[in-house]
Amino acid sequence: MKVKGGMTVSKPQQESHSIRADRFVGLLDENRKILYKVAGAYAQDSSDRQDLVQEMVVQLWRSFNRYDAGARFSTWMYRIALNVAISWFRAETRHARTFVPAGEAILEVAAAPAESKELEDGLRVLWQAIDGLDALDRALVVLYFDGRSHEAIADVLGISSTNVGTKINRIKTRLRRDLSHPA
Amino acid sequence: MELDDIKQRLEHLDGKLDATLRLNRSVLDSRVLDKVDRALRRLGWVLGLELALGVATVLLTGSFVADHVRQLRFLVPGLVLHIFVIAQIGMLVRHAVATRQIDFGAPIVEIQRRIETLRVSMIRTTMWTLLLAPLLWPPLLIVALKGFLGIDAYVVLGAPYLAANLALGLAVIAIGLLVSRLFADRLSGSPIVRHLMRDLAGTNLAAAQGFLASLSRFETDDPGAS
């Protein structure tokens, strides 16, 4: 048994389905902001964001038996969420989603109208910043905005931290140029 | 506005997300997770059934080949079908194994490269299947008539009829290629048909190879990647 992030965890093969599901939902809840941020960076429309969140949760659950409890859950979750989002972003067709009945969202924004509007405005600003970026650069910017170090970003993406620094500088220059000379 | 200004603004909102975001636990507990498990089991059964049908077909065509090993006119169409089915099963197993081995929790560049390489292989398989399928009709006719009904297609239908079918198959391939290249991106009907047409036209293959090239540039920091 190990204690990670305030939660007691044990080897997946020793867990019953319901204990495993509870543990999964608990960890997911602790890190729910990641779902919101990644979906916000890859899907502009709110129903698309719901679909994307659902695909991320499905893939997270499918991969959960491979999760090493010794590793940081947020890093593992970022990798899966971004991998799903990149594939989703690039997919030509949208699959039929049947896991959740229409109208029921996995992630709900329960905020006062003013705060909800502020969050939407935040997503709009994020979207303006990343609009011209490809799927891979978007992943890098999402992690950068989340305050991750170059090393942590490099770990999630699978590139060197020097490469991360170079890319961030290039994106900054590009954004400065785009915002001073809008198309 | 600079990238760091946006970052600061988003960090300010980050604190509010904890209070305002809620995970719908009831949906997750009772529906999504159980349904994902059931869907995965169903997928396993479908794959198993496909495999069983493939193996049964291999046994049938193999038995036909063995029975007609000294009759070249039956041996050749039998072997063509036999090899085609074996190749299809091989690709099915290869793709199923590769799909199962993809760990989405691995670094993004590595996983995206694996997914895209697998996609290239799947597109190539679909392309070759679509291209070869029209040519398989004459051998299938010869083998099925002889194997199931004991009828010699060369005698009953005649060699010119079979040759005409082969020519028709070639014409279907040529027309299919032409139509897919002209209309693959303009079809508004079924997404599956559009996807198949784009596979046949090579559009999907070019896109997948293009993304593999971007991944390499992203990894090695080629300015063309940004």
Rounded to an integer, what distance in angstroms lies between the CA atom of residue B82 and that of residue B79? 5
Task: Say if residue A18 is in the same domain as residue A92.
Answer: yes
Judged against a pLDDT cut of 60, whether residue A7 lies above it is answered with: no
Task: With CA atoms as reference, report the closest residue to B85 among A6, B170, B77, B105.
Answer: B77
Task: With CA atoms as reference, report the closest residue to B68 among B158, B142, B166.
Answer: B142
Task: Say if residue A99 is in the same domain as residue A28.
Answer: yes
Cβ within 8 Å, pair A122-B103: no
Sort out which chain A residues have CB atoms less than 8 A from B31's CB and list them. 99-101
Can you give the C-alpha Rg of chain A in angstroms? 18
Task: Say if residue A104 is in the same domain as residue A175.
Answer: no
Task: Say if residue B96 is in the same domain as residue B117.
Answer: no
Task: Say if residue A1 is in the same domain as residue A66.
Answer: yes
Task: Say if residue A91 is in the same domain as residue A125.
Answer: no
Kindly report the nearest CA distance between residue B183 and chain A, in angstroms: 16
Report the pLDDT averaged over residues A127-147.
89
Q: What is the pLDDT of residues B75-103, one digit of tens each?
A: 999 999 999 999 999 999 999 999 888 88
What are the φ and ψ backbone dihedral angles of B107, each rounded to 5 degrees? -55, 150
Nearest to A86 among B14, B31, B112 (CB): B112
Task: Say if residue A47 is in the same domain as residue A123.
Answer: no
Domain boundary (A108, A138, A165) is at A108
Amino acid at A119: L
Task: Say if residue A130 is in the same domain as residue A142.
Answer: yes
Burial of B30 (0-12, 13-18, 19+ CB in 10 A): exposed
Q: For residue A8, what is the enclosing H or E element?
A: strand A7-9
User: Tokens at residue B136, please?
Assistant: 């398989």
**Number of separate domains in chain B:** 2
Question: For residues A44 and A127, is the Cβ–Cβ distance under 8 A?
Answer: yes
**Residue B127 included in any domain:** yes
Cβ within 8 Å, pair B7-A147: yes
Q: What is the pLDDT of residues B125-148, one digit of tens each?
A: 988 898 888 889 999 999 999 999
Domain boundary (B73, B101, B129) is at B101
Domain boundary (A108, A125, A148) is at A108
Q: What is the pLDDT of residues A63-103, one digit of tens each?
A: 998 898 888 999 999 999 999 999 999 885 445 455 666 66
Range of the domain at B56: 32-101
Is the confidence metric ipTM above 0.85 for this complex?
no
Instruction: Determine the pLDDT at residue A10.
Output: 47
pTM: 0.80
B204 SS3 class: helix
Task: Say if residue A12 is in the same domain as residue A58.
Answer: yes
Amino acid at B220: T
Q: What is the pLDDT of residues B152-169, one digit of tens each?
A: 999 999 889 889 988 998
Instruction: Determine the pLDDT at residue B191.
Output: 72
Sort out which chain A residues have CB atoms less than 8 A from B104's CB and list them. 59, 62-63, 79-80, 83-84
Return the residue matching tokens 């065509």. Answer: B61
Domain CATH code at residue A26: 1.10.1740.10
